[in-house]
């Protein structure tokens, strides 16, 4: 967990686009409790700022609608309220409550089709959901333990989010479709504590990495680090124009930074306040809608083409005899069963849906060869396919008929334990 | 509400102002530039002509009418002759570039697609797409002297700089056993002897297009697709559907190395033409569905290939991060880029935008489009708009592929696919020719799609593209284009049937076995294969279902141009028409054929080829 302290200077400048930021006396850069001393959204136009929702006890997490006219935010009308999701016109007017929970709901973003995505507090950490703009038909997208916080909605229609990752020494960036299917880490090089990702107009994703920024580009399987500066950045970046960004620094200031032109320029700083989470108030492209292909089936099917394909370790050829599947049940791992792995490394299983699961590869005597460190899930009716075990998104599949499908078209079923009973392979 | 109605009415009128029928679009497909850089020849397959441009002025010098649907063009090194392959006329036009007149028409095989001469201009080589061979035409006599067997769908040719070799690629994979790995080849012809000298195997390649050879002859590059038809099509990301690739060959690399041009989150598809600079520093690759040209730094590419271990060489085509090592730029150009030509001074690259009906002029130093030549095309009607959509890859997730990736130029890809919604390893689907399908509903072999709007709309969006795709009007345009696809000439049909075709027709229409016993109506060929398209458009169980099929009922396929579209049966399990009866009809459930002799089956095939 990292927190930043107050600075004692006051500078005012302007950028050509109105913007909103979250002003706070203290910002904790970890999980859901980010503003322990309160926060308020401020909108800046022509160098003048005003509170976006002056009647609120707390407000944060601004997200501007695709047409640039309204703002989603998380807010507390009264100080004792939980954080909830609201919408307010940029031009002013009464905020409209979208989500009414007894738990906190934060980090909202607009989705195409008049829906929103946000993170909701649960006993297992913040989990991501979508709902309509009236709060109806909520749909949970994430099912692994830990805080899952929405970072951005990518133009390809996927939700970019941050969540814990055991190989990342903290958080990593993941993507998931808006029906909760297809969850995966965006890249598999797993750097240290990646979070606060935002997509740029180029399609690159820029994110915070410790106290500096890095980016993912389409062409590379690993992150590209940005020039190291004396300034430490924190939180998400707002893109003013290609290669010109509005960024928050750990000093509390809001900076305009053009990486090609050296050091950042302070555009806003206020004594005793921190300006974080900048967003520009302007229309922007509507992401593509994801046409859900979930079928009407029990559980989810998972086909792995070749367990021996892995970017992280060498798995001796012919060593894998079976895959063992565990699920997280009542916060404890439970072995659901195991399925044979074919000579070509393929296996085909049915796993329980909406449940955190993970795999181990085992040899002929049941000894673990390698095991998954984190958890993932699949949705009901999802048909998941993967190249190998931690093959990485850069690895396209080899075009070969999986041996398991030549033997059978029926997956080995793994079911959750019946209450009080033991569970095995069906 | 009233305004909305008026707006819709206005739009409807606007969209209807361009007549659908009788509009021809130039559809530039290949380019050639003179050694002095002053004249550009543009081959227009849509208007059956070569348009000659004076480049200094940008003016059209002449429009030269050639044969039907010209596909390939070659300017001789002395720039005195231009040869044009007329794919629907089955011949080659020889053009005198001084007079800009067609001076001779030369013979070719079925559907000539590309032409090249040897250095002495003694022989003309013609790649024939339907007859799967290369015609060798003696230019002194104007007669075809021999045919050389090439790959299936032989389509593109290149002459090595020393004139010793002619290379030929093909767009359909070889016909192999059911669900086997697709295989293609580069056919290497010894130009001194006009004989096939070698065949370079291209593993897992299907859809191989242009080929380029460096000036020093040490590096060859062939544009190709690497389909993933053997694994379930369950998602699109991570190169799951098609790999867009270049096959490298020659002394610079030793053997064949397939390298990807895609990235992790973006695809550049399908690679069509390749232009190598004379100094071998740069290769330009047009990618038709992505409306772009990929620029490859060849020196970096060769250095990268040298670092690969033998295992890495065989697997690098599946590494989507590899292209970062050698792709220098992506240049957006017009719609549907196809053939290209580099100015002799290397300063400009000309790109034929087939569905945009323009020529993009790319300044190679800045790698930007700095100008455009217009071909004076009429405004796009709904079919033309639909054609643009058909070739566009932007609708699939991350721009991975478009309709034309699998339905190559409106046809098929010769592959059997495992689509996802039915489950994994079930209901394999043989890809089909799209020509003449307007009145053949329902679609898909199990008849699950009642019309093309369903097939191309929600089904394509959900199970192929897996991303928001066509809006209502776009879908209307796309379907209109597909329904309008012209049917290519049938090469086996003439005014009168041959005796063998007549005998085959009698078998097709027979109602009794050879022993005189009646054949039940639903077991007679001509009952189910009836009507204008030889389909009754109904589902029947003819015993050709497989254990992996969810239902034995098969939508009766149309038989139009059936000779072109192997493999056969709903899943592509029959490699030839003959195998339909000799392998997959043991109990006479798919017509009565077991009382027929080999020569009678041959007769039946001869007749079917005329349909």
Residue B449 covered by a domain = no
Residues of A in contact with B181 (CB under 8 A): 399-400
Residue A424 lies in a domain: no
Nearest to B321 among A221, A348, A400 (CB): A221
Which residues in A lie closer than 8 A to residue B420 (C-beta atoms)?
293, 383
Whether B576 is covered by a domain: the verdict is yes
Residues of B in contact with A345 (CB under 8 A): none
If we measure between CA atoms, which residue out of A387, A398, A404 comes closest to residue A310? A387
Cα–Cα distances in angstroms (integers) from residue B113 to residues B31, B88, B156, B168, B456, in the given order: 14, 9, 7, 11, 29
A-to-B residue pairs, Cβ atoms closer than 8 angstroms: 129
Nearest-angstrom CA–CA distance, A138 and A132: 7
Is A319 within the bounds of a domain?
yes
**Are residues A157 and B468, on separate chains, in Cβ contact within 8 Å?**
yes
Q: How far apart are CA A281 and CA A64, in angstroms?
A: 6
Q: Average pLDDT of A103-109?
A: 96
The verdict on A221 and A357 lying in the same domain is no
Which pLDDT score, from 0 to 100, does residue B16 have? 42
Q: Flag if A396 and B181 touch (Cβ within 8 Å).
A: no
Instruction: Determine the distance in angstroms separating the CA of B508 from the nearest CA of chain A, rounded to an integer.
Output: 36
CA pair distance B393, B477, nearest whole angstrom: 16
pTM to 2 decimals? Answer: 0.94
- Cβ separation A399–B466 shorter than 8 A: no
Under 8 Å between Cβ of A7 and A269: yes
| A186 CB within 8 Å of a chain B CB | no
Q: Check A383 against B230: CB less than 8 A apart.
A: no
Please work out, in degrees rounded to the nearest 5, the angle formed at the alpha carbon of residue B177 by the alpha carbons of B176 and B179: 105
Asked if the model's pLDDT at residue A175 lies above 50, the reply is yes
| Pair B219, B250: CB distance under 8 Å | yes
CB contact under 8 A, B235 and A290: no
Distance from CA of B224 to the nearest CA of A (A): 15
- To the nearest whole Å, the CA of A176 is away from the closest chain B CA by 12
Same-domain pairing of A70 and A217: yes
Query: Are the beta carbons of A221 and B227 separated by less than 8 Å?
Result: no
Q: Which residues of B are less than 8 Å from A301 in CB distance?
A: 423-424
CATH number for A313: 2.60.40
- Which residue in the set A156, A157, A397 is minimally distant from B231, CB to CB? A397
B296: in domain: yes
Indicate which of B178, B181, B320 best probes the interface with A, i.e. most A CBs within 10 Å of its own CB: B320
Residue A2 above 60 pLDDT? no
Q: Which of B243, B264, B421 lies nearest to residue A393, judging by beta carbons?
A: B264
Residues in A touching B424 (Cβ below 8 Å): 301, 303, 348, 383, 405, 409
Residue A419 pLDDT > 70: no
Chain A residues in contact with B319 by the CB 8 A cut-off are 394-396
- Which distant-in-sequence residues (6+ apart) come within 8 Å of B395 by Cβ? B389, B402, B461, B465, B467, B468, B469, B470
Instruction: Give the closest of A157, A305, A394 to B467, CB-based.
Output: A157
Which residues of A fall within a CB distance of 8 Å from B245? none
Candidates B260, B463, B468; nearest CB to A288: B468
CB atoms under 10 Å from CB of B463, counted, come to 17
Where among B363, B383, B403 does a domain terminate?
B383
pLDDT tens-digit series, residues A29-58: 776 678 988 999 999 988 788 999 999 999
- Residue A352 CB-half CA count within 13 A: 24
Contact of A46 with chain B, judged by CB distance below 8 Å, is answered with no
Cross-chain residue pair A156–B227, CB shorter than 8 Å? no
Partner-chain contact A156 B397, CB within 8 Å: yes
Cβ contact A203–B265 (<8 Å): yes
State how many domains chain A has. 2
Taking the CA atoms of B362, B364, B368 and B371 in sequence, report the sign of the dihedral they define.
negative
* A383 belongs to a structural domain: yes
Residue A13 has pLDDT above 80, yes or no: no
| CA distances to B6, B77, B84, B170 from B136, in Å | 62, 19, 15, 17
pLDDT in tens, A330-346: 889 999 999 999 999 99
Q: Are the beta carbons of B18 and B379 closer than 8 angstroms? A: yes
Residues A276 and A345 in one domain: no
- Give how many domains chain B has, as a whole number: 2
Distance (Å, whole) CA A12 – CA A253: 10
A205 burial type by CB count under 10 A (0-12 exposed, 13-18 middle, 19+ buried) = buried
Whether residues B319 and A394 touch (CB distance < 8 A) is answered with: yes
Residue A259: per-residue pLDDT: 82
Using a CB–CB cutoff of 8 Å, tell me whether A68 touches chain B: no
Confidence of residue A90 (pLDDT cuts 50, 70, 90): very high
The torsion angles phi and psi of B472, rounded to 5 degrees, stand at: -60, -45
Domain boundary among A246, A280, A314: A280
Same domain, yes or no: B44 and B186: yes
Question: Closest chain B residue to A383 measured between Cα atoms?
Answer: B234
Which of A157, A291, A295 has the CB atom closest to B421's CB atom? A295
- The nearest CA of chain B is from the CA of A387 a distance in Å of 9
> Inter-chain contact A400–B265, Cβ cutoff 8 Å?
no
CB contact under 8 A, B231 and A383: no
In a domain, B521, yes or no: yes
Strands A27-28 and A19-24: unpaired
Residues A317 and A194 in one domain: no
Residues A82 and A214 grouped into a single domain: yes
Phi, psi of B173 (to 5 degrees): -70, 165
Q: Please indicate, yes or no, if residue B278 is contained in any of the structural domains.
A: yes
Q: What is the pLDDT of residues A255-266, one digit of tens each?
A: 999 888 888 889
> Is B7 part of a structural domain of the chain?
no
Statement to judge: residues A121 and A222 lie in one domain: yes
The helix/strand/coil state of B427 is coil
**Which residues of A65-187 form beta strands (DSSP E)?**
70-76, 84-89, 96-97, 105-111, 115-122, 125-132, 139-140, 149-153, 159-165, 170-176, 184-185
Q: What is the pLDDT of residue A220?
A: 96
Domain identity same for A275 and A334? no
Task: Point out the domain boundary residue: B383, B406, B427.
Answer: B383
- The answer to whether the Cβ–Cβ distance between B230 and A400 falls below 8 Å is yes
Structure confidence at residue A14 as a pLDDT band (50, 70, 90): low
Say if B478 falls within a structural domain: no
Q: How far is CA A233 from the centre of its chain?
A: 19
Closest by Cβ to A395, choosing from B318, B420, B426: B318
Domain of residue B584 covers: 499-608
Domain CATH for A50: 2.120.10.30
For residue A218, give the chain B residue with the closest CA. Answer: B265
How far does A376 lie from chain B, in Å, by closest CA?
Answer: 17
Q: Answer yes or no: do A288 and B467 touch at CB < 8 A.
A: yes
B-chain residues near A157 (CB < 8 A): 467-468
Alpha carbon of A219: minimum distance to chain B alpha carbons (Å): 5
The last residue of a domain, from among B367, B383, B399: B383
Identify whether A258 is part of a domain.
yes
Residue A111, domain member (yes or no): yes
**Which parts of chain B register pLDDT below 50?**
1-20
Does A41 map to a domain?
Answer: yes
Q: Would you call A400 an interface residue with chain B, using a CB distance cutoff of 8 Å?
A: yes
The reported pLDDT for the residue numbered A235 is 84
Domain residues for the domain of A269 are 3-280
Do A369 and A276 share a structural domain? no
Gap from B318 CA to chain A (nearest CA, Å): 5
Give the number of residues written for chain A: 426
> Are A288 and A328 contacting, i.e. CB atoms less than 8 angstroms apart?
no
Return d(Cα A199, Cα A156) in angstroms, integer.
11
CA quadruple B252, B258, B260, B261: dihedral sign: positive
For residue A31, the model assigns a pLDDT of: 64
Distance CA B89, CA B96 (A): 20
Q: Which of B466, B546, B549 to substitute to test the interface with A, most A CBs within 10 Å? A: B466
- A67 and A175 inside one domain: yes
The CA-to-CA distance between both ends of chain A, in Å, stands at 43
Nearest CB to A291; choose among B179, B263, B461: B461
Minimal-distance CA residue of chain A relative to B330: A219
Q: pLDDT band for position A1 (50/70/90)?
A: very low
Query: Is A229 within the bounds of a domain?
Result: yes
Q: Packing angle between helix B382-391 and helix B472-484, nearest 10 degrees?
A: 90
Best of A219, A220, A302 to disrupt the B interface by mutation (most B CBs within 10 Å)?
A: A219
Q: Select from B285, B412, B409 the least CA-distant residue to B354.
A: B409
Task: Give the span between the Cα atoms of A303 and A407, in whole angstroms.
Answer: 13
| Nearest C-alpha in B relative to A181 | B235
Chain B residues lying within 8 Å of A182, measured CB to CB = 235, 237
**Within this chain, do residues A311 and A203 fall inside the same structural domain, yes or no?**
no
- Are B180 and B305 in the same domain? yes
> Can you give the CATH number for the domain in which B531 is found?
1.10.760.10
On the 0-12 / 13-18 / 19+ scale of CB atoms within 10 A, B561 is: buried
A387 CB neighbours in chain B (<8 A) are 238
Q: Which residues pair with B137 in a beta bridge?
A: B124, B144
Q: What is the CATH number of the domain that holds B302?
A: 2.130.10.10
> Do A264 and A327 belong to one domain?
no
pLDDT, one tens digit per residue, over B392-424 is 999 999 999 999 999 999 999 999 999 877 889
In sequence order, which ranges of A324-422 are alpha helices (DSSP H)? 403-407
Check whether residue A270 and residue A349 sit in a common domain: no
The pLDDT, as a whole number, for residue A5 is: 37
From residue B70, alpha-carbon distances to B42, B65, B380, B468 in Å are: 11, 10, 21, 35
The label of the residue with tokens 């699998």 reads B406
Query: Are B107 and B252 in a shared domain?
Result: yes
- Nearest-CA distance A129 → chain B (Å): 20
**In this structure, what is the dihedral angle of CA atoms A79, A83, A88, A94, given to the nearest 10 degrees?**
-40
């Amino acid at each position: 967990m990292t927190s930043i302290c107050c600075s004692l200077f006051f500078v005012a400048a302007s950028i050509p686009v109105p913007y909103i930021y979250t002003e706070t006396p203290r910002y904790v850069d970890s999980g859901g409790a980010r503003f322990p001393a309160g926060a308020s959204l401020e909108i800046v136009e022509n160098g003048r700022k005003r509170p976006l929702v002056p009647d609120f006890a707390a407000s944060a997490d601004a997200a501007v609608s695709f047409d640039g006219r309204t703002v989603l935010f998380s807010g507390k009308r009264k100080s004792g309220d939980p954080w909830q999701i609201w919408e307010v016109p940029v031009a002013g007017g009464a905020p409209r409550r979208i989500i009414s929970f007894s738990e906190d709901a934060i980090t909202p973003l607009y989705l195409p089709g008049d829906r929103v995505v946000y993170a909701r507090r649960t006993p297992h950490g913040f989990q991501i959901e979508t709902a309509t703009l009236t709060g109806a038909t909520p749909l949970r997208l994430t099912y692994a333990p830990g805080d899952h916080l929405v970072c951005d909605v990518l133009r390809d229609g996927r939700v970019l989010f941050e969540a814990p990752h055991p190989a990342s020494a903290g958080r990593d960036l993941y993507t998931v479709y808006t029906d909760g299917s297809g969850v995966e880490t965006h890249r598999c090089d797993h750097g240290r504590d990646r979070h606060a990702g935002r997509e740029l107009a180029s399609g690159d994703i820029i994110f915070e990495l410790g106290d500096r920024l890095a980016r993912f580009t389409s062409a590379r399987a690993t992150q590209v680090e940005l020039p190291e500066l004396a300034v430490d950045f924190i939180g998400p970046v707002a893109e003013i124009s290609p290669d010109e960004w509005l960024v928050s620094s750990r000093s509390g200031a809001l900076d305009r930074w053009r990486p090609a032109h050296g050091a950042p320029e302070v555009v806003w700083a206020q004594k005793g306040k921190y300006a974080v989470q900048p967003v520009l108030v302007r229309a922007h492209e509507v992401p593509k809608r994801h046409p859900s292909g979930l079928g009407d089936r029990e559980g989810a099917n998972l086909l792995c083409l070749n367990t021996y394909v892995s970017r992280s370790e060498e798995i001796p050829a012919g060593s894998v005899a079976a895959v063992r599947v565990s699920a997280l049940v009542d916060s404890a791992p439970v072995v659901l069963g195991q399925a044979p792995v074919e000579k070509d490394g393929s296996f085909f299983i049915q796993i329980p849906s909406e449940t955190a699961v993970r795999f181990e590869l085992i040899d002929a005597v049941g000894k673990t060869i390698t095991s998954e460190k984190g958890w993932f899930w699949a949705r009901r009716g999802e048909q998941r396919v993967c190249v190998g075990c931690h093959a990485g998104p850069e690895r396209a599949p080899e075009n070969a008929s999986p041996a398991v499908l030549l033997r059978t078209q029926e997956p080995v079923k793994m079911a959750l334990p019946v209450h009080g009973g033991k569970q095995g392979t069906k | 509400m009233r305004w909305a109605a008026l707006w819709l009415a206005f739009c409807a009128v606007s969209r209807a102002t361009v007549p659908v029928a009788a509009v021809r679009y130039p559809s530039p497909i290949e380019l050639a530039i003179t050694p002095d850089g002053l004249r550009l020849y543009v081959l227009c397959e849509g208007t059956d002509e070569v348009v000659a441009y004076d480049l200094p002025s940008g003016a059209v010098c002449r429009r030269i009418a050639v044969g039907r649907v010209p596909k390939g063009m070659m300017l001789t090194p002395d720039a005195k002759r231009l040869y044009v392959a007329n794919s629907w006329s089955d011949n080659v036009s020889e053009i005198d570039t001084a007079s800009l007149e067609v001076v001779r028409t030369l013979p070719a095989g079925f559907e000539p697609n590309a032409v090249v001469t040897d250095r002495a201009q003694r022989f003309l080589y013609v790649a024939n797409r339907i007859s799967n061979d290369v015609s060798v035409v003696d230019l002194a006599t104007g007669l075809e002297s021999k045919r050389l067997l090439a790959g299936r769908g032989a389509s593109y040719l290149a002459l090595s700089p020393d004139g010793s070799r002619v290379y030929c690629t093909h767009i359909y994979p070889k016909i192999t056993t059911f669900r086997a790995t697709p295989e293609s080849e580069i056919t290497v012809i010894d130009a001194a002897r006009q004989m096939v000298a070698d065949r370079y195997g291209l593993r897992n390649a299907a859809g191989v297009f242009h080929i380029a050879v460096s000036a020093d002859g040490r590096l060859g590059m062939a544009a190709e697709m690497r389909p993933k038809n053997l694994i379930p099509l369950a998602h699109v990301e991570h190169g799951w559907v098609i790999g867009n690739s270049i096959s490298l060959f020659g002394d610079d690399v030793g053997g064949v190395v397939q390298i990807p041009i895609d990235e992790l989150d973006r695809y550049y598809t399908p690679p069509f033409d390749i232009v190598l600079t004379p100094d071998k520093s740069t290769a330009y690759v047009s990618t038709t569905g992505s409306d772009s040209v990929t620029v490859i730094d060849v020196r970096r590419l060769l250095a990268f290939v040298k670092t690969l271990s033998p295992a890495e060489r065989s697997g690098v085509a599946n590494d989507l991060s590899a292209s970062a090592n050698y792709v220098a730029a992506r240049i957006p150009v017009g719609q549907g880029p196809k053939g290209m030509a580099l100015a002799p001074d290397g300063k400009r690259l000309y790109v034929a935008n087939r569905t945009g009906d323009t020529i993009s002029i790319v300044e190679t130093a800045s790698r930007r489009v700095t100008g455009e030549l217009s071909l004076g095309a009429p405004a796009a009607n709904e079919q033309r708009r639909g054609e643009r959509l058909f070739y566009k890859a932007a609708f699939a997730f991350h721009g991975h592929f478009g309709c034309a990736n699998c339905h190559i130029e409106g046809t098929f890809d010769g592959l059997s696919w495992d689509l996802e919604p039915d489950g994994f390893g079930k209901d394999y689907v043989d890809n089909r020719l799209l020509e003449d399908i307007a009145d053949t509903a329902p679609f898909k072999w199990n008849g699950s799609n009642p019309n093309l709007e369903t097939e191309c709309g929600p089904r394509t969006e959900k199970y192929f593209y897996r991303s928001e795709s066509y809006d209502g009007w776009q879908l209307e345009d796309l379907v209109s284009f597909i329904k309008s696809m012209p049917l290519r000439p049938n090469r086996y049909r003439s005014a009168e049937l041959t005796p063998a075709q007549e005998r085959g027709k009698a078998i097709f229409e027979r109602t009794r076995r050879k022993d005189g016993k009646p054949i039940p109506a639903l077991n007679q060929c001509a009952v189910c294969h009836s009507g204008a398209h030889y389909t009754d458009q109904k589902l029947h169980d003819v015993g050709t279902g497989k254990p992996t099929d969810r239902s034995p009922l098969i939508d009766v396929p149309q038989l139009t141009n059936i000779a072109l579209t192997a493999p056969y049966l709903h899943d592509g399990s029959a490699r030839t028409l003959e195998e339909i009866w000799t392998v997959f009809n043991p109990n006479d459930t798919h017509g009565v054929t077991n009382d027929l002799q080999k020569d009678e089956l041959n007769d039946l095939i001869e007749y079917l080829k005329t349909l």
